[in-house]
Structure 1
Amino acid sequence: MIDPSESFGDMIEHALHILPVALALVLPVVAVGTALLYWVRRGSLSTTMTVLVLVPIVAMLTGVLGVSGFMFNATLTTMSLVCLLVMVVTLPVALLLGHAIARRSVWEREARERERAAEASRRELVAWISHDLRTPLAGIRAMAEALADGVVSSPGEVAGYATRIGGETRRLSGMVDDLFELSRITAGALQLTMSQVALREVVSDVLAAQVPVAQRKRVLVRAEAPTAPIVLGSDPELARVVGNLVSNAIRHTPPNGTVAVQLAIDGHDAILAVDDACGGIPDAELGRVFEVAFRGSAARTPSPAGEEQAGGGLGLAIAKGLVEAHKGRINAHNHGPGCRFEVRIPLAAV
């Protein structure tokens, strides 16, 4: 023990005398703690924080007990109790801090992974759209130059070129609309004007517009709506969901095939099911059909020569975003000669 009457020099001399003993006692504890930290480095962050807190406290307590010769007087007892109190207080704090840091680390890692996936999706989208834009633009440019140079002069040929230019222009306009809609969805800027919507009327209007397209491709469109579900939603956006699903089904159904649209009610949900005859989707691709710009493999029935080419691969992604904006769900699975896209939207409260 240090005598209070000792001078400052005596205190320094005493400290230098006990320093080698303290180091001899503390260093092994620190070495063991370091080895323990190395051993648990791949474990949970809470365990690492606990070891990190315990090592200096145990090292200090060991040094104090060793230097005092384990003479438990009032001063030593007080210091030991203080060390134990510090340990009791800091351990829960270390555990809470470890959990918080671990959660934040996991969140940051997941955020980085989502950002990398989103960036890869954006690059893929740009590549797809760039390719799809070049094709109709090249055709429009070639036909416009032919008309300007007088390569075609008969009224029939001029009318044919004009019709084809109009078709390519409509295709480009549709792609631009899809990009605008998708940008609103991904940016969270989609604002829906919600009201009670008769889903059967939406399906009827969409099919009236899609049947001529199906007839040109010799595809039969069949609708079954034994019930008339009323949902809370936005009429234009719901029409776009139905239109995207039906047009996608028609596009991937071969001539003389059938596209079936069905409405039903299941509990508190309205169900819209669209069946095609695409030949099925490989199981490895089913989880990706709603990704931006994903078009699948050759297992999907390709469009015959001369038919309307596939779009920019945005229709299903837009449909998914709009369905989720209505607090609904959409999924796809193989069914019969093709696949079924099923939408569930909560019914309106009556």
Structure 2
Amino acid sequence: MLLRAIDRFFSHEASGGILLGLSAIAALIVANSALQPSYDWLLNLPFAVTLGGEGLEKPLILWINDGLMAVFFFLIGLELKREILEGKLKNPRDVILPGLAAVGGMAVPARVYRFFNWGNPDTIGGWAIPAATDIAFALGVLALVGSRVPAALKVFLLTLAILDDLGAIVIIALFYTAELKVDYLFLSLLPLGAMLWLNLKGSHRMAPILLLGVVLWVLVLKSGVHATLAGVITAFLIPLKDKWGKSPLHALEHGLSPYVLFFIVPVFAFANAGVSLAGIELGDMLAPLPLGIALGLILGKQIGVFGATWATVKLGFAQLPHGVTWAHIYGLSCLAGIGFTMSLFIGSLSFADPELMNAVRLGVLSGSLISGVVGFAVLRMSATAQEEEAVPAE
């Protein structure tokens, strides 16, 4: 009976978001308890992989953020390639509305953040933090509303979130690259070329490509470009069809998804959501850094996603999906303000100072929580209103 209940939980659409939320709560509890020194010690524990005196040595938190998150981005890359070749992104007409909504949902939050942090060289670099949307959390909250929202709304949110992730990948590549070491970049062309050759020949063995992807990850990390991009590049070089007509891409995506959703993302959340509340007052929440992030997620996402959608429809470039109302779009715009995983990740790239990262966590957690609650309430009320309208008068 217990095993059946566990199986039902992990097969539910909201399970990933729930587990993510529980991991964040656990991090908050640990970071504000007697276990806090042990939590910090564990995250800063050095871990090294060396050969002949050469290799990598990083604290555990960076192995999580650079290593495990590369696997997370590898899965995103697989999803993006599949959607582009045979899914929601294949037909350009279907991309116009969620695509412009995604652009608005990234541009306006960044502008809100910059408004509050303008002129502060210590914090202005975090402008991309509120531009992100957490797919697992947003879809999890939408799943909690149930079947009372139209299926087209889930497709719209999923497409928007996928394009948002693509935008985040571009931002990381362009704006969060450290000092370049060109020699390592040139060396990275070797595994890249080998993976491309295996892709073109339709190789059905994935182990060689994955091993070359690990080599690419190391070289990209050493070059100064953020290593998670190696995950995306490797994913795009996984063949959709091999020479036998089977799909390595589908098999990898299907096999990897549970590990990412139920292990990697919760581990990342536990390692990065541990904000210390000791000595924090209301005035700390109103500081430019956390306030810019929180309002970017709450107001910026609502204005950006809803405004871009409204303008696109009113100008005649696209139509609302079947069965989707403006109330649904507003609720979805609120859910897009759940930044969490991606926002915390971009925050870790933006700031190395522990105090600034604590402020980032405050802004991301508060902004994401408010966005999720408001989005859930709006979608629940809109669904209830539609059900009442559908009941015939006696």
TM-score between both structures, scaled by the size of structure 1: 0.25
**Which is strand-richer, 1 or 2?**
1
**Which is helix-richer, 1 or 2?**
2
